[in-house]
Amino acid sequence: MSPATATATAPAAAGASPEASGFLASGLGIALFSSAVFGLSGSFAKSLLETGWTPGAAVTARLTAAALILAIPAVLALRGRWSQLPSNWVTIVLFGLIGVAACQLFYFNAVARLSVGVALLLEYLAPVLIVLWLWVASRKRPRPLTIAGTLLSLGGLILVLDLTGSVKVDAVGVFWGLAAAVCLAMYFFITAKQNDTLPPIVLASGGLLVGAAVMWLTAATGLLPMAISTADTELGPWTTPWWVPLGGLVLLATVLAYVSGIVAARALGSKVASFISLTEVLFAVIWAWLLLGELPGPIQLLGGVLIVGGVLFVRLDELRGAKAGDQAKVNGPLDHANDVEPVP
């Protein structure tokens, strides 16, 4: 999902001065750039999967290389603040297990069986799942706008699945996509209860390192199939070596996406950045069309619009509730859930 924005610890930069306005405009551009490069992950991964790579191998390679690259700036960010690691180890481990390893593995499994756009839309149902769970757990009805957004997204899901149309959707792929959404929702609840004193780049690097370690350990036990291929890949009109999409997956869709997401979230604040991260769905569909020749059918595209629109309603209602002072009473976990989103 992710969106995806990384940890944001600074307030929004929407001041009244010309300097603040310019900074906001710059942050918007960086946020859109972050969504665009995040949206490349599905296309790069699928080009590898189609040549014989397993989802586990693709995720492991992505996490390992990205963790090593981000380790250098993470160490620099920790100078003089090494004591923050022991007090935040739970956050790092949970981020690595749920927000990185599990969520990416489930999403790549979905991409292997579904179009990139449909797989990502299923994962973006996470905010709706959170609303439904809070409704059941608290037995307190959400506000009307949240209910409307939830119903809109669920209606969009029906259209995306296109159960009666000519486009046949793989049931196993749908399961993996929904599993990624559940994983993302679980991670939102977990991070809502954690402190945010850890530098964002450290959380990103540490989470990627933990995720990579989990993937390697799982593969060593034989539970996770691991296979790679050195066959050429097809990206748009080009035939490229296997290391081209892998390099793009690591450098563009992970390292550069994370760093730009951190900059954008700090410039705009987590709320605004999380809204802009929804454009990742649009970018993912465009990249899949250009690089893989994939394009969801008209009914699925309409369903995607409804899902994104429903999530927008939920987040708008969340923002309104926060301004009214009742956010913590209704769906408090969502307030901090937007602060950290895993790599899709």
| pLDDT given at position 13 | 35
Q: Could you say which DSSP state residue 231 is in? A: S
| Alpha helices per DSSP H over the chain | 18-38, 40-49, 55-77, 84-87, 89-94, 103-113, 116-123, 126-138, 144-161, 171-192, 200-220, 243-247, 257-268, 270-276, 279-292, 298-324, 327-331, 333-337
Q: How far is 146 from 311, CA to CA, in rounded Å? A: 9
Contacts of 205 (CB under 8 A, 6+ apart): 67, 70, 71, 73, 74
- Of 317, 335, 300, nearest in space to 177 by CA: 300
**DSSP codes of every residue in 305-330:** HHHHHHHHHHHHHHHHHHHHT-HHHH
| pLDDT given at position 65 | 95
Helix (H) or strand (E) holding 240: strand 238-240
Residues in the chain with pLDDT < 70? Answer: 1-26, 162-168, 190-197, 269-275, 319, 321-344
Q: How far is 299 from 155, CA to CA, in rounded Å? A: 12
- Of 34, 182, 183, nearest in space to 100 by CA: 183
| pLDDT given at position 51 | 94
Contact criterion met (CB below 8 Å) for 62 and 250: yes
CB atoms within 10 A of CB 237: 8
- Of 187, 124, 114, 177, nearest in space to 154 by CA: 124
Q: How far is 126 from 275, CA to CA, in rounded Å? A: 14
| pLDDT given at position 331 | 45
| pLDDT given at position 235 | 92
Contact criterion met (CB below 8 Å) for 242 and 51: yes
Residue showing tokens 């790679």: 228
Phi, psi of 241 (to 5 degrees): -65, 160
- What is the sign, positive or negative, of the torsion defined by CA atoms of 271, 179, 279, 2? positive
| pLDDT given at position 170 | 85
Looking at the whole model, is its pTM more than 0.75?
yes
**DSSP codes of every residue in 34-92:** HHHHHTHHHHHHHHHHTTT--HHHHHHHHHHHHHHHHHHHHHHHTTT-TTHHHHTHHHH
| pLDDT given at position 31 | 83
Task: Using alpha carbons only, give the angle 200, 203, 206 rounded to the nearest 5 degrees.
Answer: 145
Whole-Å CA distances, 3 to 126, 214, 262, 312: 11, 22, 12, 13
